[in-house]
Structure 1
Amino acid sequence: MAQQHLDPTDPRPGHAGPDPTGDVLAGYLRTQATEFLRALRLHRETGSGANGSEASAEAARALRRSARRISASLHTFQSLLDTDWCEAMRPELAWVSGTLAMEHAYTARLERLLSALHRLSGSTALPGQPAGTAPAGRADTAAGTRAGSAAAGRAAGAAPAPQRTTTRDAGPRTSPAAAPERGLTVGAAKAGALLDRQLTLARTRAHSTALQALGSSRFHAVADRVAVLASEVPLAQGADSTDLRPLATAAQDRLADAVAALPLVTAGNPYNAAALVHGLSPDTVPHPQDAPWHQVRLLLRLHRYAREAVSGPKGNAVVDLRLLSAGQALNRHRDASEAAAAAAQAARTPRIAPATAYALGVLHADQRHEVEAARFAFQQCWQKEAVRTG
């Protein structure tokens, strides 16, 4: 849906003209339902092989986008729609969106982790490939992660990392400050190969699950309901004259309350050491510090989609740079958090070499650094705007 980008820093509500009512919501839902059906047709036309074509992947992303927007609108504006219909549709749309998202998530996670290993190890080749002359790695990140890497190795049953030594062999000497840790250099290739096996297998399974889902009777039932929605929106009685803005404001208030509950003082620190400890423990449950941030990310999405709905099908919503920047920071937070969990899970693989566990520990600590950096970016973005508009 094309958007008319007005003043991106204008804090005023994005709707101009008559008050937005249930009729505006109905137009927005019909537009998103049409986008869903168009993406579904494109997906069927492009087909999908073992890993799917690029056009097929783009069609799947378009399906997810429209499904998320329909589901979010049913959540925010449920009082203006048929209750039974909303309760039946929302979980089905969440199932479609979640199922289609997994393959892309595993692909992006593997790329993120291998790139981080490449950077941390100072290798010219990605882990798992023959290494050439190592360029200088990012010294600040590597130094910051070494403190947690020894603990990660112990958590995975690894021996302490070998000490850095200097050699008196003939030839040019390498400065100890510029050379990567030997334990990380030795273990990075095997750690990358282990992550590649685990995440590629998960991605392949996610691809098969998505194909099965798209061919299932459950999905066909969802598509049939969306097809009906493209022409007929089940508005509640009186919704056609009810103002949407109070419900959109309620979504904004829920977001503001969730942000206010975040530990933004802690997020103002460059590194939160407590965030490392839980991920190194044998406990495999999600990191407890991450949950409120993930919730804020979902509420931010609901708020953003509510603004779209209030603006109407033509998309006259004013772009809010704070929402864009905050959403990007929270997406990075989620990606780094899930990547850190994948590294920790790989480090728990039985009978892996100590050097491999050490490299995975350094990788885990690096991704937890990225989590903290994303929180800091969100804190700076959100509080700066609050001061400007306060």
Structure 2
Amino acid sequence: MAQRHLESSERLSGNDVDVLGCYLRSQATEFLRSLRQHRESGAAGDTADAARALRRAARRISGTLHTFRPLLDTDWSDALRPELAWLSGTLAREHAYASRLDRLTSALHTLTSPPSPTPRGSAPDPAAQSPQGLNLAHPPQGREGAAPALGNLPPGAAGWARRPPAPRADTTTSPPAPAPHADTTAPTPAPHAETPPPARETLTLGAAKASALLERQLTLARTRAHSTALQALGSARFHAVADNVAVLASDVPLTTADTGLEKLAAEAGSRLAEAATTLHHTSHPYSPDADAAWHHVRLLLRLHRYAREVVSSAPVDARLLDAADALNAHRDAAEAAAAAAHAARTPRIAPTTAYALGVLHADQRHEVAAARLAFGQAWQRQTVGTP
């Protein structure tokens, strides 16, 4: 047991094989400790914390097996790595759905909140703007009850939204008759069409139903993910993974290789840098291919962080953590936008509901663009600060 809990300076004094073995044993021990805590915990919060620690240890073991594969038994690591990825992904879905619902409902509340009062002495903006800069002064109009196909709309604030209904003009009203002895030379006022409701009112009317629709869909998905996680934790597949990790906690199948830890960690950093430099070619905010490229960089950054944990006892650079936080925010916003778009495709929903979901989708795509900008700034600081 003493070998599993060596201090960082002590374990770095050995050769590369000892350093890698000590790191893998410590992560395997953390995996087993989290598994025992998950089985013994009764409260929902304790179970969530244990599941989060279990996912964290599984990700680190899987990432280490991937980066330092030449130093490990190839057949063993190739068989264990996808099983750990399956376990981590299965346990993460429930938390992801809950976070997505909180994010979307909070965004709807922000979008429908009344605007702040205009400071005295400044002219108000004629176009009503949402907090994210979306033009809500003129919502898209169409015939009553009609909703165009989602795939034929251009990207934008109403790109995913169905058009809200436009009230018909009241043509039955006749012009008022002139009063007796009135001046009939004055022009008779023309009949006025009924003024459509303001965009913010339309958004407010649809936001309540949009929130209820999102809560119904995402709560159902979260319940299914919870059931899937419970089934996975009781399956023979999971017990096989736990047995392999238990063996890893005491015996790491290491091999002798000419490649050192530093070289393999540097290769992981090079792959990350190469992928990050190509992101400006796939920076369109509404492109699914661009989202996939950014998600790939997030995974490479995670592998790079885990590799640095193995070879270095120094704390992770704050600039690297800022870049990781930006990529995590990018993933959350992109998945939330996809959830809003999926809800907007629900058949037979009210046009105002679809309009609110369209505005919500555009708001989350604005968050995607903001996360990309934040990553670019953090990555530039990281690149400049790297010796």
Q: TM-score, structure 1 length as denominator?
A: 0.77
Asked whether the 8 Å contact 2:70–2:259 carries over to 1, the reply is: no
Is it true that 1:158 corresponds to 2:158 in the alignment?
A: no
- Separation in 2 of the partners of 1:20 and 1:69? 21
Indicate the percent of aligned positions where both proteins have the same amino acid. 62
Aligned-residue offset at 1:23: 1.0
Aligned-residue offset at 1:318: 3.1
Is it true that 1:141 corresponds to 2:136 in the alignment?
A: no
Asked whether the 8 Å contact 1:82–1:235 carries over to 2, the reply is: yes
2:185 match? none
Is it true that 1:112 corresponds to 2:103 in the alignment?
A: yes
1:73 match? 64
Asked whether the 8 Å contact 2:111–2:130 carries over to 1, the reply is: no
Is it true that 1:227 corresponds to 2:224 in the alignment?
A: no
2:276 match? 259
More relative contact order, 1 or 2 (CA 8 Å, 6+ apart): 1
1:300 match? 301
Task: Compare CA radii of gyration and give the structure with the larger one.
Answer: 2
- Separation in 1 of the partners of 2:12 and 2:246? 30
Aligned-residue offset at 1:373: 0.1
Aligned-residue offset at 1:20: 5.0
1:335 match? 332
Aligned-residue offset at 1:181: 1.0
Is it true that 1:54 corresponds to 2:49 in the alignment?
A: no
1:176 match? none
Q: Secondary structure at the match of 1:181?
A: helix
2:77 match? 86
Deviations 1:297-346 (A, max 9, x none): 000000000011113xxxx2332111100000000000000000000000
1:183 match? 202
More off after superposition, 137-146 vs 369-378? 137-146
Deviations 1:140-180 (A, max 9, x none): 535426499749x74267234669xxxxxxxxxxxxxxx86
Change (3 A) 1:385 1:229: closer
Change (3 A) 1:291 1:186: same
- Separation in 2 of the partners of 1:149 and 1:23? 64
Change (3 A) 1:246 1:389: closer
Residue 301 of structure 1 aligns to which amino acid in structure 2? R
- Separation in 1 of the partners of 2:78 and 2:96? 27
Task: Name structure 2 gaps, 5 residues minimum.
Answer: 118-127, 142-146, 151-159, 168-197
- Separation in 1 of the partners of 2:366 and 2:291? 13
Q: Secondary structure at the match of 1:309?
A: helix
1:275 to 285, 296, 300: 285
Q: Secondary structure at the match of 2:341?
A: helix
Q: Secondary structure at the match of 1:263?
A: helix
More off after superposition, 33-42 vs 18-27? 18-27
Aligned-residue offset at 1:44: 0.5
Q: Secondary structure at the match of 1:317?
A: coil
Change (3 A) 1:333 1:20: farther
Asked whether the 8 Å contact 2:330–2:371 carries over to 1, the reply is: yes
- Separation in 1 of the partners of 2:137 and 2:90? 38
Q: TM-score, structure 2 length as denominator?
A: 0.78
Change (3 A) 1:293 1:335: same
- Separation in 2 of the partners of 1:248 and 1:78? 11
